[in-house]
Structure 1
Amino acid sequence: MATLQTTHPRKKATNVSQGWLPKLSIMDRYLFTQMLTPFLFGVGAFSSVILAIGSLFELIRLITDSGLSIWTAFQIFGYQVPGFMVYSFPMSMLLATLLSYSRMSGDGETTALRSCGVSAYRLVLPALVLSLFVTGMTYVFNEAIVPAANWQSRSTLRAALNQENLQFKKQDIVYQQYGEVPQDDGTTRQGLVRSFYARSFDGKEMRGLTVLDFSQGQIQQILSAESAVWLPDQNVWKFSKGTTYLVGADGNYRSILRFDDQNLKLPRAPLDLAQEQRSAEEMNIEDIRRNIELLKQSGNTKEIRKLEVRLEQKYALPFICVVFAIVGASLGMRPQRTGAAIGFGLSVLIIFGYYLLLFICGALGQVEFLSPIAAAWMPNLIGITAGFIILTRVT
């Protein structure tokens, strides 16, 4: 008698894979969905608070006191939203991880998962992955959206209030060029090569110019002109109606040469310096680098240091999301349960402490007590170290 053989269908895999995407276990999908709702809530809540404090009250004051139209106020408000929203991303990451893991810990879900052999480090992995995604989103906002929106906001406000357009400096443009200066013993050293001064600038033409040449270690010539324009096709300055004074080694004039028009191959930097009026919040990484190079030619060490710190912070700040995710998940997995109100309050305290540390480190970087890299990344290093210490105590 033939026996009947039956085959049992294979169980469906608990992991989900979509092409090139990594496999997601049921636990991972569950944790992602648990964090998504408080994250979106945090973005809305924190953005609303920051916008109200940093923008809305001031716009209402301008409407009532300065006659700013409501429609223009709405435009400015819209331009300012990305700049304030980007600050809410790391805050929301902290709130989402803290509330999600705290609720799971309070309901015994983390205990059940760990009894099945899931380590605390494995439980934190979904929060880390989500934080890396939010980090990338924060970086894109900071680079592609926020600088242009902040600049447009300021320009719209000035135009609406009939304020002076500060897209370029209109008076007293001073530029000092530094380079290698020969010494009497045949060596060279870094020193002042040329000093450039213009009394006024209308965006195209500079007027009332004086250029002092120190390229040989002492003043060699003085150029004075009524006006000058930059010729981009020839990469030179065209000076008009001026006089060149050649100075001898004894300090007396060797000759005086008057001219109607004269082209001189001087740096374009004075024009760039007059046109650059954006703050660090209105510049992306490439803009900051370009400004640093420009300022290095002028020898403005204080402003150079400030921009170097801000440049490193442009790289470091998005990674606050990773720091807050690890800290929030580690705190949430502790045995005691944290309610929504307590979690929100604890998030605010951690955020305040972190940004206070960020401000202190930034100030220390600007006074050269810390290097720009240390000033920007030290808060992240301290935060992530504290998060892992808490996590090891949970395990």
Structure 2
Amino acid sequence: MVTGYYSCPDFQGNRGDRLILYPLPCLTPMEPYGYHYRRCPPLGTRLYKSLVKTIKSLSRGPSLMDRYLTSQLIPPFVLSVGIFTSMGVALANLSDLSNKVFEYDLPVIDALKILLYRVPEFFAYALPISVLLTTLMTYGRLSSESELIALRSCGISLWRATVPAVILSVIVSGITFVFSEGVVPETNYRATEILVKVLHEERNFWQNKDIFYPNYEEVKLANGQTFRQLKTLFYAEKFDGQKMRSLTIINWLGDHLNEIVVSDSAQWNANQNIWDFFNGTVYLIDTDKSYKEAVPFKHQQFPLPKEAFEFATQGRNPYEMNLFQALQYKRLLEASGDNKNVRFFDVRIHQKIAFPFVCLVFGIMGAAIGAKPQQMSRGTSLGLTVGIVFSYYMLNFFTGSFGMIGLLSPMMAAWLPNLFGVGIGGWILKKLEN
């Protein structure tokens, strides 16, 4: 019995492609060595072992390689965030605000406030793009200068080498989520408020006229089935933020019309949880649909649902709502039976949840493409960044549109671009590793 060698890529980060001495039977006694190459374990097994080894190594703290790669990632990331945020604010707002200052007499102070309120939105947009550019540039440089080859010669797989980029992407995803939900909706809303107050611009989603809100109740049949039956139809011609004007309320009792209320104005009484109506008439309807009585009033309280008031006051652009506000507004739309807008908000809600994870998608894609053995300049990295971002948002636009018209579920419409991006990045890494 003499010894021979076999070689197999080691995904545990210990030996790599190094030849390991194993006892093997020789073919003939004259041969000093016998060479035997065995088949590598399946990719799933190698990935699992690599993941376990990575978790164990990270639990002991960052290695020298992790600290080195992180030091290469952070400076270009910070610089990219600053550049993309400044460019976004300047290109999207300066021209429009300048026009409003000179043409519509928007005060300069208000224009500066609007500009500052827009910064968080473009900061949130800049984060995933910066992750993509940073990983492309960093891993592209490591590949072109053969540093990745040096790491692999030490037994470190590409999967392990991309861990610092993935961790950075996860952290940036958390920052993006905090900004997108805690800061951006409120600052966008305040910027819109200034334009509405100073220039009297209309809010697209704010209900200030022709407020129409149907209220349904669940009715249970004898066979146990339920269906929705119209209970109240609420209509107001105008709304100034406090009072509604020229109202007509139609109430049903069971399946027949019960009363019609016509009033000059009404407002929600938050202290008593009831509606105060002023200067109107209540028309009582008999079961045979004839007028039974007309009762005029100067002030009358009606126990109507609060949702009509919330529907008018909470109407915002989806980009001016956080998740909690969007879910609340969706429930109001569901109660009103507005299925078209319910689906629109359902898709937007899932997109708001999926958006922060774009950082992780771009981080994986950038590291995978950058790690390819090629000469990648900064200009090439920037060009690839523009192309990938454009392709991603085009795909996001189409899947979102398909979700709104019912061809895709809202969840699939929001998450499909992310899954597609992760799949491409993982496939490229797998090809490079093999």
Classify the secondary structure of the residue corresponding to 2:228: strand
Q: State yes or no: 1:249 paired with 2:305.
A: no
User: How far 1:82 sits from its partner (Å)?
Assistant: 0.8
Q: Name 1:346's counterpart in structure 2.
A: 384
**Deviation for aligned residue 1:94:** 0.5
**Distance between the aligned counterparts of 1:45 and 1:156, measured in 2?**
27
Q: Is 1:372 aligned with 2:410?
A: yes
Whether the aligned pair in 1 keeps the contact of 2:263 and 2:279 (CA below 8 Å) is yes
For 1:259, give the aligned amino acid: F
Shift of 1:146: 0.6
Q: How far apart, CA to CA, are the structure 1 residues paired with 2:225 and 2:295?
A: 32
Which residue of 60, 66, 91 corresponds with 1:53? 91
Q: Deviations over 1:184-224 (max 9, x none)?
A: 99975213221011223333222322111134123222122
Q: State the alpha-carbon separation in 2 of the partners of residues 164 and 305 from structure 1.
A: 24
Q: Given the alignment of the two structures, is residue 127 of structure 1 paired with residue 165 of structure 2, yes or no?
A: yes
Q: Pick the aligned partner of 2:184 from 133, 138, 146.
A: 146
Task: Look at both structures and tell me which one has the larger radius of gyration over its CA atoms.
Answer: 2
CA contact (8 A) 2:141 2:376 kept: yes
Aligned to 1:279: 317
Aligned with residue 156 of structure 2, among 113, 118, 134 = 118
CA distance in 1, matches of 2:415, 2:201: 38
> Which residue of the partner structure matches residue 15 of structure 1?
none
- Count of paired positions: 376
Q: What pairs with 1:212-361 in structure 2 (closer than 5 Å)?
A: 212-361=250-399
Provide closer, same or farther for how the CA distance between residues 161 and 149 of structure 1 changes in structure 2, counting only shifts above 3 A.
Answer: same
- Counterpart CA distance in 1 for 2:418 and 2:231 is 41
Contact 2:135 2:367 in 1 (8 A): yes
Following superposition, the deviation at residue 228 of structure 1 comes to 2.1
Letter in 2 for 1:132: V
- Cα distance in structure 2, aligned partners of 1:167 and 1:346: 37
1:177 to 210, 215, 225: 215
Bigger shift: residues 67-76 or 141-150 = 67-76
Q: For residue 20 of structure 2, what is the aligned residue in structure 1?
A: none
Q: Describe the superposition over 1:276-321 as per-residue Cα deviations: whole angstroms up to 9, x where unpaired.
A: 2321111111110111111112111111111111111111100000
Q: Is the 8 A contact 2:282 2:294 kept in 1?
A: yes
Contact 2:361 2:421 in 1 (8 A): yes
For 1:140 and 1:372, the matched residues in 2 are separated by 22
Q: How much is the aligned-residue C-alpha RMSD, in angstroms?
A: 2.3
SS at match of 1:221: strand
Distance in 2 separating the partners of 1:329 and 1:354? 16
Deviation at residue 161 of structure 1 after TM alignment? 2.9
Give, as a single letter, the amino acid of the residue that structure 2 aligns with 1:207. R
Counterpart CA distance in 2 for 1:176 and 1:22 is 60
**Per the alignment, do residues 173 and 30 of structure 1 end up closer, same or farther by CA in structure 2, a change over 3 Å counting?**
same
Residues 321-371 of structure 1: CA distance to partner in whole angstroms, max 9, x if unpaired?
000111000111111121100011011100100011111111111112111
Shift of 1:236: 1.3
Higher RCO structure (Cα 8 Å, ≥6 apart):
1
1:31 counterpart = 2:31: no
How far has the Cα of 1:163 moved from its partner? Answer: 4.8
Q: Is the 8 A contact 2:209 2:236 kept in 1?
A: yes
1:194 aligns with 2:232: yes
Instruction: Give the CA deviation at 1:166.
Output: 8.9
Whole-angstrom CA distance in 1 between matches of 2:131 and 2:225 = 57
Cα distance in 2 for residues equivalent to 1:332 and 1:165: 44
- State TM-score, norm by structure 1: 0.89
The Cα shift of 1:74 comes to 2.0
- For 2:355 and 2:409, how far apart are their aligned partners in 1? 16
User: C-alpha offsets along residues 35-61 of structure 1, whole Å, 9 cap, x if unaligned?
Assistant: 112212221222233223211221122
Q: Percent identity?
A: 39
Shift of the 117–72 alpha-carbon distance from structure 1 to 2, 3 Å rule, reads same
